[in-house]
Amino acid sequence: MKLRIALLAALSMLATPLFPVIAAHAAGERLALVIGNAKYPDNETPLKEPINDAHDLADELKRDGFDVEIGENLAGDAMRRALDTFYGRITPGSAALIFFSGFGIQSARQTYILPVDAQIWTEADVRRDGFSLETILGEINSRGAGVKIALLDASRRNPFERRFRSFSAGLAPVIAPSGTLVMYSAALSSVVGDSGAERSLFVGELLKEIRVPDLTAEETLNRTRVGVTRASRSEQVPWISSSLAEDFAFVAGAKVAKLDPKPLVPEVKPTIQPPATTEPAKPVAVATQPEPAKPAETKPVEAKPIEVKPAESKPAETSVASLAHEPTVAALNAKIAANPKDVNSLYRRGQVYASKGAYSAAIKDFDETLKLNPKDVEALNNRCWTRTVVGELANALKDCNEALRLRPGFVDALDSRGLLYLKSGKAKDAIADFDAALKVNPRLTSSLYGRGLAKQRSGAAAAGELDIANAKAMDPNIVKEFAGYGVN
């Protein structure tokens, strides 16, 4: 509002055009912090896009009048220093923009961006090693910034989420102070598959729109959203939230047409539709937040002999030797060598082995964990899941049942047992477990996709296709993931 008052005299001197033209945020410094994190030791290979995207966007912002600081592959301490320096540069009335490309994760309905040395094994580790977007925006606001912009290209499936199968994938909505514009590269709780390209579709479209003259920042981001959605054939739909109270353009000194008052940019909720090959159906509102649900009542099932269906294949094993030099594995090996009864390190190494396909080694570590603590429900669930992947279904069922006996309604164990039933040909039992898991966490992609396969196998083709389409929209890699479990 201050900007409009300051420009009132100048506007009164103009003739009355159809769309009055005003300067967009003419006063105040324009500051930006651009971070590209690509080399995460826990990921199999460095990400290709973040560094190139960070440099391309930083160069454009400099041309547009921003004072830009750029960081590459920042560890936790370096990222904290970069943010503190950024906060210190902010003065009242300035415009402050932060761009982050790398891995992000949501926990307790907050979005956290991750440094390259993040060591995340429990939800508490997310808060310890990650940087909350809400906290960052709150700190920027406390320094008096008039315009606050956050652009996150962090909607990637990451190794940390795979360790905690109860986590929702992708990013969470942000509760931001007034005067804030936020954009994610994909819809809430959705992830973007790795394209293998040197630059991301999101940043490519953003750069094209920033260069279009006479657009407000909101218009620029809305056009970016449309461009990404069209280019990806609706497989990637960016999310926007705005509470800007003044006109702002990315290009310094730009003139923007002041249109009739309209609502600010809405939060974009993706409409997920089944592939064209399926019968027309109304999309399922999987993106809505559910009411808190009581833990599902589950009854342990008597373990009966189960055989692997011939159609299911046994996945290839990764050798332990090939993982020995990975930083996380090497650190855990050292801890276990120093203390063979270090139950936490044994469990964590088992998780790493399982996530990287060293299934036999993972089972051995879970065995040792459970010898030390037979009531460790997390270890029971992980061993159930790993045994399911390799086809040891009878023993897997015992593990899942015991985990559910110790913790009724345990969503991860329901999801694991659903996969077990799916592999064993018990589609109705699989649907029941996936249903129970989805009542607790409707965004649990593995349960949604598994339920879709189970429905198809039970004869409900249309309903199964819809579940599968919704799961693929949330996680484009889900088909490949299940194929790795031996389920096609």
What does the DSSP assignment read for 194-226?
Answer: ----SS-HHHHHHHHHHTSTT--HHHHHHHHHH
Alpha-carbon gap, residue 380 to 407, rounded angstroms: 11
Domain final residue pick, 257, 286, 302: 257
Q: Grade residue 255 by pLDDT with cuts at 50, 70 and 90.
A: low
Does 34 fall in a domain?
yes
Does 160 fall in a domain?
yes
- In a shared domain, residues 84 and 208: yes
- In a shared domain, residues 236 and 329: no
Q: What is the average pLDDT across 19-42?
A: 74
Residue 429, SS3 per DSSP = helix
The tens digit of pLDDT for each residue in 338-394 reads: 999 998 889 889 988 887 889 999 999 999 999 999 999 989 999 999 999 999 999
Q: Grade residue 154 by pLDDT with cuts at 50, 70 and 90.
A: very high
Does 311 fall in a domain?
no
Q: So what's the pLDDT on residue 8?
A: 31
- Please name the residue that has the structure tokens 């921003």: 66
Q: What is the average pLDDT across 168-194?
A: 87
Query: What's the one-letter identity of residue 48?
Result: K
CATH number of the domain within which 397 lies: 1.25.40.10
Does 310 fall in a domain?
no
- In a shared domain, residues 68 and 183: yes
189 close to 106: Cβ distance less than 8 angstroms: yes
Does 347 fall in a domain?
yes
User: Based on the structure, what is the number of domains in the chain?
Assistant: 2
Domain final residue pick, 213, 229, 257: 257
- In a shared domain, residues 244 and 337: no
Does 409 fall in a domain?
yes
Quote the domain boundaries for residue 399.
321-484
- In a shared domain, residues 33 and 133: yes
The model carries a pTM of: 0.57
The tens digit of pLDDT for each residue in 36-88 reads: 999 998 887 899 899 999 999 999 999 999 999 999 999 999 999 999 999 99
- In a shared domain, residues 237 and 330: no
Q: Grade residue 137 by pLDDT with cuts at 50, 70 and 90.
A: very high
- In a shared domain, residues 113 and 209: yes
**Residue partners of 396: CB distance under 8 A and separation at least 6:** 383, 384, 385, 387, 388, 416, 420
- In a shared domain, residues 240 and 326: no
- In a shared domain, residues 191 and 65: yes
Does 42 fall in a domain?
yes
- In a shared domain, residues 222 and 340: no
Domain final residue pick, 257, 278, 296: 257
Does 451 fall in a domain?
yes
- In a shared domain, residues 251 and 329: no
- In a shared domain, residues 141 and 240: yes
CATH number of the domain within which 200 lies: 3.40.50.1460
